[in-house]
A and B are shown apart, each in its own frame.
Chain A
Amino acid sequence: MTNISASTTNSNTAVRIIQWLLVLFLIYMLITAVGMIGSGFKGATKGQAMELFAFATNPFMGLIVGVIATAMIQSSSTVTSIIVGLVAGGLPVEMAVPMVMGANIGTTITNTIVSLGHIGKKKEFRRAFAAATVHDFFNVMAVAIFLPIEIIFHPLQKIAGFFAAHLVGGENLSVKGLNFIKPMTKPVIEEFKNLAEFISQPGAHVILIVFGIFVIFFAIIFIGKLLKKLMVGRAKAIMHASIGRGPISGITSGTIVTVLVQSSSTTTSLMVPLAGAGIFKLKQIYPFTLGANIGTTITALLAATAISGPAAVLALQIALVHFIYNTTAVALIYSIKFLRKIPLRGALWMARVASEKKVYALLYMIGVFFVIPGLMVFLYQLMA
């Protein structure tokens, strides 16, 4: 009997080691893929990225690109990593900032869809839908506050630029000489480049970008799946520790769980059935959801390590924009009572309306994720 349990423990350990090695490999592929996008985009635009993305000079267009791209592929980590690669390849940071903000809104569609699973039971649906949409309301409100300020004064871009320059490009704290990522990723990027050139010589750069997007997409999916298995015990311990404590503990646990599973939509979706069943109240779920916003920024920061040379500052700058934006939005909105209550009230109202007439839930989703950003583009063009 002891032998059997010992061999089971050994095989479990072996499986875990293999899973961890796979995670490391996938992180390596993720970083490599960001490098592929950067390299492909640079080659495809030949320094004319500004012209290629001229349509996104309208910041609301950038916002809608971020919202729709994230809503379609249901992963803000994938979209922000792609954006980091594009910035490294020449996409101006100014154009990328609204895209990152849009990714924040787009990612909330996942837990809203999860809440729709409770449609059969009215009361349950109302609670689940409120738990999901509180994230939407918060993220839309954060964009409504921060985007106009960013368009006029560029504070996020400036602060992130300052830190990025000091971290990877400054005179004193430069880690340029210590960059070990490029030699590690270059051989694989070269292999993909050769493959892209083999498929089509003139379209090689675009093919490289497509390869990069696919690799990021699948790497993030599988990292998430593996980390869910590997980190579930740790995540449980963190959540057990935060139960019955205050909102700061909720925000912290939401941040850590999201970092552990590398997916904000997983963290926020996790809470929806718990809210639907009435086990957790909306007030408890709200800070946890905000923590997910902060935790998800780790992926873009990780992706930024893929870039070396002069573009490294820009790649880190956009990743830091994501981090500073989400942290500041949580700190500002949650610390002011009047602002803090708006997403709660909005979510409760919307959930009540949607539970009475389900068509309103559909209209709400189409409106928030597609129509309102579209209208903003139109209005901005009218004003410009």
Chain B
Amino acid sequence: MESDDLSSLSEKKLKKLINETQDVLDQLKAELKQRKLDRQHHEIDHMEDYFEDAEHNLSNLRLFIQKVFSEIRKR
């Protein structure tokens, strides 16, 4: 909406638009929050996989040290 259009609106109309926009914003925020929570619940359902991931930490260390040394060599 252009600013020229806005200046032609009455204060009552402006307030109405603000309230409507606020409602839409609240709905969008609630939807976003709900999606985030749904994703979290979904991932918690796969907790077994994360338990397994947590056990392979020595291979992580090896990979990390290789990366550090390759980073040092590049310099």
Q: Which residues of A contact B (CB under 8 A)?
A: 74, 110-111, 113-117, 119-120, 228, 232, 235-236, 239-240, 243-244, 265-266, 269-270, 272-274, 277, 279-280, 357-359, 361-362
Interface residues of A, dominant DSSP: helix
What are 30 of the A-B contact pairs (CB < 8 Å)?
Answer: A110-B57, A113-B57, A113-B60, A115-B60, A117-B57, A117-B59, A117-B60, A117-B64, A119-B60, A119-B67, A228-B51, A232-B48, A232-B51, A236-B47, A239-B44, A244-B40, A265-B54, A266-B54, A273-B53, A274-B43, A274-B50, A277-B43, A279-B43, A280-B40, A357-B71, A358-B64, A358-B67, A359-B72, A361-B64, A361-B68
> Is B24 among interface residues, defined by CB-CB distance under 8 A?
no
Tell me the minimal C-beta distance from B60 to chain A in angstroms.
4
- Count of chain B residues near A, Cβ 8 A: 26
Contact present for A243 and B60 (CB under 8 Å): no
Closest to B51 in A: A228
What 9 A-B pairs are tightest by C-beta distance, nearest first? A269-B54, A117-B60, A116-B64, A113-B57, A116-B60, A358-B68, A239-B44, A270-B50, A114-B57
Q: How far is the CB of B68 from chain A (nearest CB, A)?
A: 5
The answer to whether A113 and B43 have CB atoms under 8 Å apart is no
- In the assembled complex, which residues on chain A have CB atoms less than 8 Å from the CB atom of B43? 274, 277, 279
Residues of the A chain whose Cβ atoms lie less than 8 Å from the Cβ of B67: 119-120, 358
Q: Which of A116, A235, A279 contacts B61 (CB 8 A)?
A: A116
B residues near A277, Cβ cutoff 8 Å: 43
A127, chain B: closest CB distance, angstroms: 14
> Which residue among A116, A240, A361 has the maximum number of chain B CB atoms within 10 Å of its CB?
A116
Q: How far is the CA of A111 from the CA of B60 in the complex (A)?
A: 11
CB distance from A281 to the nearest CB of B (A): 9
Interface residues of B in 3-61 (CB under 8 A from A): 37, 39-41, 43-45, 47-48, 50-51, 53-54, 56-61
Complex interface: chain A residues within 8 A of B37 (CB): 243-244
A114 close to B54 (CB less than 8 A): yes
Q: Is B1 an interface residue (CB 8 A)?
A: no
List residues of chain B with CB within 8 A of the CB of A243.
37, 40-41, 44
Residues of B at the A interface (CB closer than 8 Å) are: 37, 39-41, 43-45, 47-48, 50-51, 53-54, 56-61, 63-65, 67-68, 71-72
Shortest CB distance A60–B (Å)? 27
Establish whether residues A359 and B64, one from each chain, have CB atoms under 8 Å apart when the complex forms: no
- The reply to whether B51 and A266 form a contact with Cβ atoms under 8 Å apart is yes
Contact (Cβ within 8 A) B53 A117: yes
Chain A nearest CB from B57 CB (Å) reads 4
A110-B57, A228-B51, A279-B40 known; 4 new pairs, CB 8 Å cut-off, are A117-B57, A119-B67, A243-B37, A362-B68
A74 to B57, CA, bound (A): 10
Distance between B64 CB and nearest chain A CB, rounded to angstroms = 4
Chain B residues with Cβ under 8 A from A116's Cβ?
57, 60-61, 63-64
Contact with A358, one of B44, B51, B71 (Cβ below 8 angstroms): B71
Tell me which of B40, B41, B60 contacts A114 (CB under 8 A).
B60
Chain B residues lying within 8 Å of A273, measured Cβ to Cβ, are 50, 53
A280 cross-chain contacts in B, Cβ below 8 A: 40
Which residues of A are found within 8 Å of B45, using beta-carbon distances?
236
Residue of A nearest to B38 (CB): A243
Q: How far is the CA of A117 from the CA of B41 in the complex (A)?
A: 23
| Bound complex: CA A74 to CA B55 (Å) | 11
